[in-house]
């Protein structure tokens, strides 16, 4: 899912292409994309884009007449800049926003179409779509700490809760926690003041670093390779690969469609965190260390099949 750094670079690319430009036409190929009926989607046609901004992980287009288009890409939605009037891909194309200079095309991979578009009138209606999380870039350590300690969640859940922190999702939360040397399952209200300050600094540093890197990779072109899995990441998407800091193998926790990646040596004092599905199956045999898990896997390679963790 595109998160704060990805959305920031998208918005910068859009600024030079659509800001102060007239939106001539909107083509919608998927009936599931538009989640509002009033105002109608075609009320946006013929209006000039006067503002571009981010609300959480949403991209917001402000149009003259106080009309707003709010686009949430969800997990698999991506934006592409194409020639004017470009055809929508038959299976992946959801919508196109047509301008004189080009067409902004929304595509979504996979069978689950989760991307959404809201059309709202007025600032109040727009604010109703804001989950209200803290904008962490530029936040003080005190403001960050107040939000962090306001609820007793795991750090992973707290960082990815849009009502607490704005724009952080599964990928960058893994990178932030690794940089902060904190366990993803540590409870917020058990953190020390020093750990909270460390997490705040890691959050600012990680997000800023990735914005700068993505800008450099885009090289003033429209970002076409937005992904949650990048070779420069330390732990996210790196299960089974060595941590760049200590060379310990990166581990994971899986739950439903989500996966948390972490380094046991850097973040959990060498402890292997229980993967819900596999640890439930193994129960008392669940190993306590990464080395124990590797030994268990090795023992099963010549015997009964063991589910992959």
Whether the pLDDT of residue 40 is over 70: the answer is yes
Do 203 and 175 have their domain in common? yes
| DSSP string of 15-78, one letter each residue | HHHHTT-EE-EEEE--TTTB---SS-GGGGTTEEEEEEEEETTEEEEEETTTEEEEEE-TTTEE
pLDDT at residue 302 in the model: 46
Give the span between the Cα atoms of 225 and 155, in whole angstroms.
Answer: 29
From 127, 151, 176, the end of a domain falls on 127
| Domains of the chain: total | 3
Q: Identify which of 192, 170, 189 has the alpha carbon closest to the alpha carbon of residue 181.
A: 192
Give the span between the Cα atoms of 150 and 291, in whole angstroms.
Answer: 37
Do 68 and 160 have their domain in common? no
CB 176 within 8 A of CB 16: no
Whether the pLDDT of residue 139 is over 80: the answer is yes
Do 123 and 156 have their domain in common? no
Average pLDDT rounded to a whole number, residues 182-198: 97
Question: Helices 170-180 and 193-218: crossing angle, nearest 10°?
Answer: 130
Q: Return the structure tokens found at 76.
A: 């698999």
Q: Identify which of 74, 79, 88 has the alpha carbon closest to the alpha carbon of residue 116.
A: 74
Do 249 and 210 have their domain in common? no
Do 123 and 145 have their domain in common? no
- Please name the residues in contact with 53: beta carbons below 8 A apart, sequence gap of 6 or more: 11, 60, 62
Radius of gyration of the chain (CA): 22
Do 107 and 146 have their domain in common? no
Average pLDDT rounded to a whole number, residues 190-217: 97
Asked whether residue 223 is assigned to any structural domain, the reply reads no
Q: What is the pLDDT of residues 61-77, one digit of tens each?
A: 999 999 999 999 999 99
Q: Which of 5-14, 104-113, 237-246 has the lowest mean pLDDT?
A: 104-113
Do 32 and 109 have their domain in common? yes
Give the span between the Cα atoms of 33 and 23, in whole angstroms.
Answer: 18
CB 251 within 8 A of CB 262: yes
pLDDT at residue 305 in the model: 47
Q: Which tops the pLDDT comparison, 249 or 308?
A: 249
pLDDT at residue 306 in the model: 45
From 96, 127, 158, the end of a domain falls on 127
Give the span between the Cα atoms of 190 and 170, in whole angstroms.
Answer: 22
pLDDT at residue 307 in the model: 46
Asked whether residue 230 is assigned to any structural domain, the reply reads no
Whether the pLDDT of residue 47 is over 90: the answer is yes
Do 195 and 84 have their domain in common? no
pLDDT at residue 283 in the model: 47
Q: Identify which of 305, 267, 253, 225 has the alpha carbon closest to the alpha carbon of residue 10.
A: 225
Asked whether residue 11 is assigned to any structural domain, the reply reads yes
Give just the sign of the alpha carbon dihedral 38, 44, 47, 52.
positive
Give just the sign of the alpha carbon dihedral 156, 297, 247, 1.
negative
Whether the pLDDT of residue 195 is over 60: the answer is yes
- Please name the residues in contact with 210: beta carbons below 8 A apart, sequence gap of 6 or more: 5, 172, 175
pLDDT band (50, 70, 90) for residue 279: very low
pTM: 0.89
Q: What is the pLDDT of residues 115-131, one digit of tens each?
A: 999 999 999 999 999 99
pLDDT band (50, 70, 90) for residue 196: very high
What single DSSP character describes residue 242? B
Whether the pLDDT of residue 262 is over 60: the answer is yes
**CATH number for position 49:** 3.20.190.10
Q: Return the structure tokens found at 218.
A: 């885009």
| Number of other residues whose CB lies within 10 A of the CB of residue 306 | 15
Do 120 and 145 have their domain in common? no
Asked whether residue 71 is assigned to any structural domain, the reply reads yes
Do 167 and 95 have their domain in common? no
Do 182 and 204 have their domain in common? yes
Percentage with pLDDT > 70 across the chain: 88
Q: What is the pLDDT of residues 204-252, one digit of tens each?
A: 999 999 999 999 999 989 999 899 999 999 999 999 999 999 999 999 9
pLDDT at residue 276 in the model: 56
Asked whether residue 234 is assigned to any structural domain, the reply reads no
> What is the pLDDT of the chain when averaged over all its residues?
90
Whether the pLDDT of residue 188 is over 60: the answer is yes
Do 145 and 211 have their domain in common? yes
Asked whether residue 226 is assigned to any structural domain, the reply reads no
Print the domain residue range for 296.
239-262+271-309
pLDDT at residue 44 in the model: 98
pLDDT at residue 112 in the model: 82
What single DSSP character describes residue 190? G
**CATH number for position 155:** 1.10.8.50
pLDDT at residue 22 in the model: 98
From 98, 127, 156, the end of a domain falls on 127
What single DSSP character describes residue 164? T
CB 184 within 8 A of CB 267: yes
pLDDT at residue 258 in the model: 81
Asked whether residue 114 is assigned to any structural domain, the reply reads yes
Asked whether residue 229 is assigned to any structural domain, the reply reads no
pLDDT at residue 282 in the model: 41
């Amino acid at each position: 899912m595109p998160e704060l750094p990805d959305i920031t670079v998208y918005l910068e690319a859009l600024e030079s292409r659509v800001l102060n430009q007239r939106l001539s036409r909107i083509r919608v190929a998927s009936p599931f994309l538009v989640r509002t009926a009033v105002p109608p989607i075609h009320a946006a046609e013929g209006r000039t884009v006067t503002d571009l901004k981010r609300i959480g992980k949403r991209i917001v287009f402000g149009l003259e007449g106080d009309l707003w288009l709010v686009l949430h890409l969800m997990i698999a939605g991506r934006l592409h800049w194409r020639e004017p009037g470009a055809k929508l891909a038959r299976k992946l194309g959801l919508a196109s926003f047509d301008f004189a200079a080009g067409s902004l095309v929304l595509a979504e991979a996979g069978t689950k179409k989760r991307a959404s578009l809201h059309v709202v009138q007025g600032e109040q209606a727009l604010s109703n779509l804001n989950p209200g999380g803290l904008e962490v870039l530029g936040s003080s350590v005190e403001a960050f700490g107040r939000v962090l300690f306001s609820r007793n969640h795991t750090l992973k859940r707290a960082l990815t809760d849009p009502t607490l922190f704005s724009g952080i999702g599964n990928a960058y939360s893994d990178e932030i926690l690794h940089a902060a040397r904190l366990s993803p399952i540590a409870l917020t209200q058990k953190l020390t003041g020093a750990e909270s300050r460390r997490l705040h600094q890691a959050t600012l540093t990680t997000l800023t670093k990735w914005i700068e890197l993505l800008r450099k990779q885009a090289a003033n072109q429209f970002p076409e390779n937005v992904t949650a899995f990048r070779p420069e990441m330390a732990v996210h998407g790196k299960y089974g690969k060595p941590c760049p800091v200590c060379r310990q193998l990166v581990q994971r926790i899986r739950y439903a469609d989500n996966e948390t990646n972490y380094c046991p040596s850097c973040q959990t004092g060498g402890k292997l965190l229980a993967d819900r599905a596999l640890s439930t199956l193994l129960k008392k045999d669940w190993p306590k260390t990464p080395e124990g898990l590797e030994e268990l896997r090795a023992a099963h390679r010549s015997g009964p099949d063991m589910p992959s963790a």
